[in-house]
Amino acid sequence: MSRVSFFQSIRLKIIVILTLFLILTIQLIATNFTSELEENLVNNYKENVEDRLTVLERNLTDAFSTDRSGDGDGPTLQEDVQEITRRYSSDIFSDLKVIDSQFRVLGSDDYELVGKKVSGNNSIRMALVHGLEDQDTKRLESSGERVYVRLIPIMNGESPVGTIYVEAKIEDVYDQLEEINKIFLNATILAIVVSIILGILVARTITKPITEMRKQAMGMARGDFSRKVNVYGQDEIGQLATTFNDMNDRLRIANQTTEEERRKLSSVLSNMSDGVIATDEHGKITLMNEPANNLIGISLDDAKGLPIVEVLQIEDKVIDAKELDEAGSLTIDYSDEEQLFLVKANFSLVHDEENHFMGLITVISDVTEQEKIDRERKEFVSNVSHELRTPLTTMRSYLEALTDGGALEDKELAPKFLSVTQNETERMIRLVNDLLQLSKMDNKENAILKQRLDIIPLFHHILDRFEMNKAEKIYFERKIPDDSIFVMVDQDKITQVTDNILSNAIKYSPEGGKITFQVIREQQRVRISISDQGLGIAKEKLDKIFERFYRVDKARSRELGGTGLGLAISKEIIESHHGHIWATSKEGQGTTIFFTLPLTNRKRGSQS
C-alpha cells in the first residue's frame, strides 16, 4: 500500500472543513450585517434629507402664497425664495434649486443660475404640471458619485406653482460601507489563519492514532500480527484502537484457520472440471468456480452471501443447507418453455476438528443431454411398441378366428380376414421402412443425390398424379408461376416430402374441400405452401406435428393408415437441403404447411 500524501490525507480534509465552516459563518454574518447596515444608513440619510426638505417646503409654500399686489416696497418672490434657499442650504445638499412654473430658477445655492431657465426634464415637468413628487438615486456623469435626487412640488391650493429640486451626496454612506467591508475582510483573513493553525492541531490529535492503525493494518495485510496499536485515551478513538488490537488477535487465529480451508478448497477446485460451490456454516455462498457460474447463470459477485438453497432454487425440496447432506444429490430442473436444462448437484458437508458444521461443498454438472437421450430413447421405444402392437393384435385376432373359429372354411369371411391381415402387414412394413429411413438419416447414411432441377414441372406432375388417383371429391387449386424455378435438390426426396404433405392434406380434408398448392419465388429461395380446409390444429400442438409418432387425431390417423413419421421424415429431408419447414393453422379453418428450398445461383449465360 502506497504512502498517503498530505493532499490526500484526512488531516488536510479536517483543516479544509474547519476553514470552510469558519469562512461560511463569517460570510453569512458579514452579508446579513452589511445588508442591514446599508439599509439603515441609507434610510437614515434619506430621513435626514426629508426632514430638511419638509421645513424648506413649508417656508417656500408660505413665500409663494404671500400676496405681493401692494405698493411694492416689500421683497419680491425671487428675493424671498433666494433668501430661504440660502438659509436652508447645507453641506448635505450638493445641488438645491427652486423652480417656478415657467421653468425659471428663483433660488439656488449657485447664484449664477438664479433667474435663468432650466431645461424641463420629464421629472421636473411632471412636478410642475401635475404636482407629482419624485425620488431617485443616480450617478453623476462628471465624478461618478452617487446622489439622492428629490423633487417636491410647491402647491398653491390644488395647483403647483413651483418645485424644489435637490441632489444630496449619498456617496459618503457607501464609502462608510466599503470601510466596514474592508474591516470584515481583514477579520476573515485573520480568522482563516487562526482556523488553519487550530485545524492542524486538532487534525494531528485525531489522525495520529488513525495513522498508527493504518500502518498496523498494512502489516496485517502482509501477515504480520505481532504489532499493537498505542492507546492514547479512553475516547472514541481510544476505544477504536483497543478494538483494533482485539481484532488483530482474532484475525491471527482466523487467518490460520482460513489458510487451512483455502488449501483444502484449492486442492478440490484444481482437480474438478464440474461446477463447484462452497458455503459457510450458515449455508451462504463463499466460493464458486467458473463452470458453476456458467451452469446456474449467476456470478460469484452476485451470489456471494446468498443462501445456496435460494441460488440453486431448491427451496421446495429443502429448507436448511444441512439437509442437503441427507439428500446426497438432486437433479434440478432449470427448463423453460423453449429449452430443456437439467443440472445434477452432489452435496458434501465440511466439518472442523470438533465435528462442527463448517460449510458445504456442492458439485454440479449439466445432465441435459443425457436426460434428453434417455427421454427420447424411452419415448421412441414406447411409440414403436405402441405402433407395432396395434397391427399385431389385429392380425392375431383375425388369424385366431381363421384357425380356431372355422372362418377359414367360410368363403365370404376368409378373404376379408386375409385382406385385413395383409393390410396390417403392409402397415407394419411401411412403419419399419420409415424407421429405417429415419435411422439412416440420423446416422448420415442416407445419401442425397442433388441435381439442378426445374421444380415447376415436378410439382405439376405430382399434382396430376394425386388428381388422377384421388377417391374423395377434393378440389386442387394451383397457384404456380409459369416461369421456371431452378433448385439443387434430390428429386426423389422432394417428391417424397410433397407426397407426405399432400397425403395428410387429403386425409384430413372434408368431402368437397379444397387443397391450395402455392409456389412463390423469394429473393434467395422458393417457398411452397400446401393448405387444406380440415379441422385445423390447436396452437399448443402446432409445434409438435413434426415430432416422430406425433398425431393430432390418433384415432383418425390410424384409421387412415398413417405411421406418424411422415412429417418427421419431411423435416429431415428439407433441413438436409438447407431449407426450412413449418406450419400455421386455425381450428375449424384448416392447416397450411410451408417449406422452403434455396435457389441455385444463376450462372453466366444460363436462364432460370
Each residue's pLDDT tens digit, 158-175: 888 888 888 888 888 888
Please indicate, yes or no, if residue 436 is contained in any of the structural domains. Answer: yes
Res 446: pLDDT: 60
Q: Would you state the pLDDT for residue 457?
A: 92
Residue 196 lies in a domain: no
Judgement on whether residues 53 and 81 belong to the same structural domain of the protein: yes
Give the pLDDT mean for 19-43.
81
State which of 133, 157, 175 marks the end of a domain: 175
> Pick from 132, 163, 136, 160: which is nearest to 150 by CA?
136
The pLDDT of residue 608 is above 60: no
The answer to whether the beta carbons of residues 505 and 515 sit under 8 Å apart is: yes
Same domain, 23 and 90: yes
Element at 518 (helix H, strand E): strand 514-521
Provide the CATH number for the domain around residue 346.
Answer: 3.30.450.20
* Bigger pLDDT: 586 vs 201: 586
314 close to 343: Cβ distance less than 8 angstroms: no
Assign 200 a pLDDT band (cuts: 50, 70, 90).
confident
Q: 538 is in which domain, residue-wise?
A: 451-598
> What average pLDDT does this structure show over 58-73?
73
Residues 6+ apart with CB under 8 A from 279: 285, 286, 308, 321, 359, 360, 362
> Distance between CA 408 and CA 397 in Å, rounded?
13
* CATH number for the domain that contains residue 461: 3.30.565.10
Residues 92 and 24 in one domain: yes
The reported pLDDT for the residue numbered 592 is 92
Q: Is residue 51 domain-shared with residue 116, that is, in the same domain?
A: yes
- Are 362 and 425 in a shared domain? no
The domain spanning residue 431 has which CATH number? Answer: 1.10.287.130
* pLDDT at residue 63 greater than cutoff 50: yes
pLDDT above 70 (res 190): yes
pLDDT at residue 525, as a whole number: 93
pLDDT of residue 437: 63
Q: Is residue 223 part of a domain?
A: no
Residue 1 falls inside a structural domain = no
Query: What is the grid cell recorded at 111?
Result: 447664484
Based on the domain organization, do 399 and 293 belong to the same domain?
A: no
Asked if residue 481 is part of any domain, the answer here is yes
Tens of pLDDT, residue by residue over 541-551, are 787 787 766 66
**Residue 377: pLDDT over 70:** no
Number of domains present in the structure of the chain:
4
Same domain, residue pair 304 and 430 = no
Q: Is the pLDDT confidence value at 516 over 90?
A: yes
Calpha distance 446→521 (Å, rounded): 29
User: What's the pLDDT band for 50 if we cut at 50, 70, 90?
Assistant: confident
* The domain boundary residue, chosen from 143, 175, 207: 175
Q: Are 26 and 168 members of one domain?
A: yes
Q: Are residue 509 and residue 572 in the same domain, yes or no?
A: yes
Residues 379 and 456 in one domain: no
Q: 579 lies in a domain?
A: yes
Name the more confident of 579 and 427. 579
Cα–Cα–Cα angle for 13, 18, 21, nearest 5°? 120
Q: Which amino acid is at 47?
A: E
Domain boundary among 315, 335, 366: 366
pLDDT single digits (tens) 203-258:
777 777 777 777 777 777 777 777 777 777 777 777 777 887 888 888 878 877 87
Q: In this predicted model, what pLDDT tens digit does every residue of 315-374 receive, in sequence order? A: 777 767 666 766 667 777 777 777 778 888 888 788 877 778 788 888 888 777 777 777
Walk across the sheet containing 342-351 and list its strands. 285-288, 275-279, 357-366, 342-351, 329-333
Sheet with 159-169: strands ordered across: 105-108, 93-100, 159-169, 146-156, 134-139
CA distance 440 to 446: 5
Q: Tell whether 413 and 460 lie within a shared domain.
A: no
Question: Same domain for 492 and 542?
Answer: yes
Top-confidence range, 180-184, 506-510, 527-531 = 527-531
Whether residue 356 lies inside any domain: the answer is yes
pLDDT of 530 higher than 90: yes
In a domain, residue 485? The reply is yes
